[in-house]
Amino acid sequence: MKLNVVPAKHGAMWVRQGIRAFWKQPIALSGLFFMFMAIMSLSSLLPVVGSFIALALLPAASLGLMAATREVDLGKFPMPMILACGFRVGKERKRDMLILGVLYAAGFIGVMGLSALFDGGELAKLYLLGGTIDAEMVAKPEFQNAMWLAFLLYLPFSAVFWFAPALVHWHSVPAIKSLFFSTVACLSNWRAFLVFGLMWLLIFMSSALLITLISIATGDSDFASLVLVPAMLMLAAMFFCSSYFSFRDSFVSDTIYA
């Protein structure tokens, strides 16, 4: 297994491949994504440690969606148990996946904790404990500063974990080394990831704008509220699908991973 540096245009290709893979099996991949969301939501409901457990499961769950995309790309049908593929392996890989989960949860909580320095913890409570967000809250300069700080901190944090679960699962890379290799791969391919991120930002924003304009043009105020959330969730599923192709292109291996 070795790092592969790709040109910037690969970022756009990953987006197209993710969308194409999703539409090969839209019902199956949508269902798996909603299962993924349900697992996170139900875990977060547990008292005291719920949010930590939900965050700790995120690396393994995102790996499951990548593995499902791989199945679709190979012409196979992804079964529900594929979401747990990160824990259905040998003891060492299972342990490393758990280590990644704990580190991810601790790191994310640390990011939210730093954002609390600006808004007294409003953003952190919203993410970790749930709640409702309103226009008054968003309009606060303190809340906006906390959001920007969290965003700027999360970008490098996400790069550290972007490939780590896949490296542990498919290449048996130890947890700490997988974080290092993930960071190096993201930095080496920053041009492709910049295009990747900008394209997905454009897709999400233009989709939301289109739905809002249709709602205004038809005079149906309920249209946007009924369609917007499912549409954003479907796009999020496509986003996770595209992450598999970024992994496949960023690392070259002499063996075919299973």
C-alpha closest to that of 59 among 30, 28, 102? 102
What is the C-alpha to C-alpha distance for residues 68 and 74, in angstroms, rounded to an integer?
10
Whether 194 is in a domain gets the answer: yes
pLDDT at residue 124, rounded to an integer: 85
pLDDT of residue 257: 53
| Number of domains, the chain | 1
Whether 190 is in a domain gets the answer yes
Q: For 236-246, b where at least 16 C-beta lie within 10 A, e where not — what string?
A: ebbbbbbbbbb
Would you state the torsion angle of the CA atoms of residues 81, 85, 86, 87, taken in this order, to the nearest 10 degrees? 70
Is the residue at 258 inside a domain?
no
Q: What three-state secondary structure class fits 88?
A: coil
Query: Facing residues of 251 across strands?
Result: 3
Instruction: State which amino acid sits at residue 143.
Output: F
The answer to whether position 28 is within a domain reads yes
Cα–Cα distance, 22 to 65 (Å, whole number): 11
By the 8 A CB rule, do 74 and 82 touch? no
- How far apart CA 205 and CA 214 sit, in angstroms, is 14
Q: What is the CA radius of gyration of the chain?
A: 19
φ, ψ (nearest 5 deg) of residue 251: -130, 135
Confirm whether 239 is domain-assigned: yes
pTM: 0.90
Question: Which pLDDT score, from 0 to 100, does residue 149 have?
Answer: 92
pLDDT of the residue at 132: 72
The pLDDT, as a whole number, for residue 138 is 76
Predicted local distance difference test score (pLDDT) of residue 253:
73
Q: Give, for all 258 residues of the chain, the pLDDT tens digit.
A: 789 999 999 999 999 999 999 999 999 999 999 999 998 888 888 877 888 999 999 999 999 999 999 999 999 999 999 999 998 888 889 999 999 999 999 999 999 999 988 888 888 888 777 767 767 777 788 888 988 999 999 999 999 999 999 999 999 999 999 999 999 999 999 999 999 999 999 999 999 999 989 888 888 777 877 888 889 999 999 999 999 999 999 998 765 455
Full residue range of the structural domain in which residue 152 is found: 2-252
Which residue in this structure is represented by tokens 């999020």?
Answer: 236
User: Reduced to 3 states, what is the DSSP secondary structure of residue 46?
Assistant: coil
- What tokens appear for 187 in the block? 């930095």
Query: What pLDDT is attached to residue 227?
Result: 87
The residue behind tokens 């699908």 is 241
| Separation between Cα atoms, residue 37 and residue 232, nearest integer Å | 13
3-class secondary-structure state, position 3: strand
Alpha helices in 45-90 (DSSP H): 50-73
Domain contains 138: yes
Q: Does residue 38 sit within a domain?
A: yes
Q: What is the pLDDT of residue 255?
A: 55
Side-chain half-sphere of 145: how many Cα atoms within 13 Å? 10
- Which helix (H) or strand (E) is 252 found in, with range? strand 251-252
